[in-house]
Amino acid sequence: MWWGAGAGLAGGVGVALLYYALATGTMSVVAPTTAVAAVAIPVITSIALGERPGWLAVAGIALGIAAIALVSRQTKTPAESTRSSGLRPALLSGVAIGLFLIALAQTRPASGLWPLLMARSTSVSLFAVIAITQRRSLRMPLGLFGLALAGGAVDMLANTLYMFAAQMGPLSPVVTLSSLYPASTVLLARAVLGERLNAWQTAGVAAALAAVVLIVRSAG
C-alpha cells in the first residue's frame, strides 16, 4: 500500500507535467523526451541493484533507448518555430514517471490491485488539494468529461498491465518495452494532428520494432 501511495504521488506529478508539456509543446518532442527519462531511471536502478539481463535484452534496451531518442528528432517548419518544444516539463515529467515505475515494481503479486487503488487515490487527493487551494472549478464540458474518462480508463489498464509484467519479469526489459510508446505516439501525431514524420523518426520507429523483437526473444 505504501509503495502504491508513493507511486500515486510521483505518477500524479509526472502525468500533470506530461499533459502540460503536451498542451504547450510539440507532441512528437514531448512524448519521446519523457519516455527517455522515464526508462533511464528504472533501468539504471535495476542494474545498480544487481539485475543482469542477457545480451539480447541488453541490445534491445540499448536499441530501445536509441529509438526513443530518434523519434524525438523533429524538424520544425517556420510556422512551428514559435511554439515551445516543452522540453523542460517533459524532462521533469520523465523523472517523476520513472520514480512511479520503480515504486509500482516493488509490489508483490499477493497484493492484487490494491497498490493501483492506493496510487490512484493518492493522485486524486493530490489534485483535489491543488484545486481547492487554487480555488479552481471542477466543472467541465460533457465532451471533455468523456475524453478524461476514456484517458483515465486506458491509463489504468496500462498501469495494471505494467504492474503485472514488472512482478513477473526483470524490471529493465519490462520498463523498456513499456516506454516504447513514443513510436505509436509519433504515428498517431502524424495521422491525427498532421505532424510530419521525418527520416530520424522513421528510423526510430523501425528501431523500436527491432528492440521489441530483441527483448521478447531474450525472454523466450
For the chain, 220 residues long, the average pLDDT of each consecutive 10-residue run is 92 89 79 77 81 78 79 59 70 90 90 91 89 82 85 90 89 80 74 77 79 68
Number of domains in the chain: 1
**pLDDT at site 194:** 78
Q: How many helices (H) and strands (E) does the chain have?
A: 9, 0
Q: Which domain holds residue 62?
A: 2-219
**pLDDT at site 74:** 61
pTM of the shown model: 0.73
Q: Count CB neighbours of 132 within 10 A.
A: 10
Give, in order, the Cα–Cα distances in Å from 121 to each of 12, 15, 17, 116, 118: 10, 14, 18, 8, 5
**pLDDT at site 83:** 56
**pLDDT at site 9:** 93
**pLDDT at site 96:** 93
**pLDDT at site 117:** 92
The per-residue pLDDT for range 148-185, each reduced to its tens digit, is: 889 889 988 999 999 999 888 888 788 878 877 767 77
Cα dihedral 158→159→161→164 (10° resolution) = 170
**pLDDT at site 137:** 79
**pLDDT at site 92:** 92
* Residue whose grid cell is 506529478: 13
Residue 219 in grid coordinates: 525472454
> For residue 170, what is the DSSP state?
-
Output phi, psi for 197, to 5 deg. -100, 110
**pLDDT at site 5:** 93
* Kind and range of the H or E run holding 219: helix 199-219
